[in-house]
Amino acid sequence: MQTLVLKGEEAIEKGAELIAQGEVVAFPTETVYGLGADAFNEDAVKKIFAAKGRPSDNPLIVHIADKSALEGLVEEVSEGAKAVMDRFMPGPITVIMKKSAKVPLSVTAGLDTVGIRMPSHNVAREFIRRAGTPIAAPSANRSTHISPTGAAHVYEDMDGRIPLIIDGEDCEVGIESTILDMSAEVPTILRPGAITAEMLAEVLGAVKTFSGKVVVAKAPGMKYKHYAPLCETVVAKDASSAKKAYDEALAEGLKPVIIAKSQTCALLEGRTHIDVGPTDKDICRNIYAALHRGEKIAGFIVCEHFGDEGICGSVMNRVMKSAGGKIV
């Protein structure tokens, strides 16, 4: 299959047409690129799992362009869910609610809940609107690989596997949406993101952050390996451990690279590095592109620990998984 990469109006029109034909289409959002299909067309949804190589027991998020689409998708919207959606949607959050009977079980992997997300990205919203149906979509990477934050990342993973990539520039947020389970007794964050626990607590009073013990896989990375670059990756707790890990890898004949914020890069004394920028927002926006670039130019990635506070805590949730939990 030939994979087209198109931009602008032409891309949106072609995308909507392909969705109506039961095909899958990659599209940009403010978090990461998604791989979408008509959420009500089970054959189309199957093609998403096939293109990704994703196990079918991992549920998909349903993307909408307008809140009016909620009616056909969820049984009821609780007061708390409404408050969260009023405040943060459109934006980088997915809210899990009891699903309506109309949502196929192949989308939710047999669960009686569904994750709803309304992206803020204009191209995403226009594409969904034009498709005229809610769009089920995971991130547009091959299963277990790094999520794509640019059309070129999608192309690398999906060339020949899908008919169209809508190119909408690089993603502004850079990591996947916060997943908030509003079907739980206490609202629970299943995956941290740019909308933090503190921000949600302001609206909800209390939210539970995911505590670590897993019985049934509810969010990515708990059951399956996720966000993994193609080469060994470690997290360094500070600049001097990063330099030490780099030098050791070099001595072993590996080709190392350090991923760090600008302030740390200034201390690396000529060692090969990728600068993700000076601010927390920059780090979040650039981290996946840095991992993509790292696996391409190096055989060993040392990533700085960016801290556990706020948005950096969400970034480290992903990076720690990339590193398989290894800190040096």
Q: Report DSSP letters for 189-248, one per residue.
A: EEE--SS-HHHHHHHHS--EEP-S--SS--STTSSS--S--SSEEEEESSHHHHHHHHHH
| Amino acid of residue 307 | G
Return d(Cα 315, Cα 311) in angstroms, integer.
Answer: 6
Specify the stretch interacting with ligand TXA by CB under 6 A; choose among 15-23, 172-180, 268-276, 293-301. Answer: 172-180
69 contacts which partner out of ligand TXA, Mg ion, none, CB within 5 to 8 A by kind? none
Phi, psi of 243 (to 5 degrees): -65, -40
| Shortest Cβ 161–Mg ion spacing (Å) | 16
Site for ligand TXA in 183-202 (CB under 6 A): 190
**Binding of residue 137 to ligand TXA (CB under 6 A):** yes
Residue 12 vs 195, nearer CB to Mg ion? 195
The structure tokens 């998708």 sit at 73
Based on the shown chain and the rule CB under 6 A, indicate whether residue 162 belongs to the binding site for ligand TXA: no
Instruction: Rule CB under 5 A: say whether 139 interacts with Mg ion.
Output: yes
Residue 18 binds ligand TXA (CB under 6 A): no
Confirm or reject binding of residue 81 to ligand TXA (CB under 6 A). Answer: no
| Nearer residue to ligand TXA within complex by CB, 59 or 294 | 59
Q: Verify binding: residue 106, ligand TXA, rule CB under 6 A.
A: no
- CB distance 106 to 46 below 8 Å: yes
3-state secondary structure 290-311: HHHHHHHHCCEEEEECCCCCHH
Strands 256-260 and 300-304: parallel
Longest dimension (CA), the chain: 60
Task: Look at the chain and count its residues.
Answer: 328
Asked if residue 90 has a cis previous peptide bond (ω within 30° of 0), the answer is yes
Query: Near Mg ion by CB under 5 A, which window of 117-125, 131-139, 196-204, 228-236?
Result: 131-139
The distance of closest approach from Cβ of residue 95 to ligand TXA in the complex, given in angstroms and rounded to an integer, is 10
Would you give the end-to-end CA distance of the chain in angstroms?
A: 44
The mark string for 229-268 relative to Mg ion (x by CB under 5 A, - otherwise) is ----------------------------------------
Pattern 209-248, binding to ligand TXA, x per CB under 6 A? Answer: ---------xxx----------------------------
**Residue ranges that bind Mg ion, judged by CB under 5 A:** 139
**Residue ranges that bind ligand TXA, judged by CB under 6 A:** 29, 31-32, 34, 58-61, 94, 96, 108, 111, 113-115, 117, 137-139, 176-177, 179, 190, 218-220
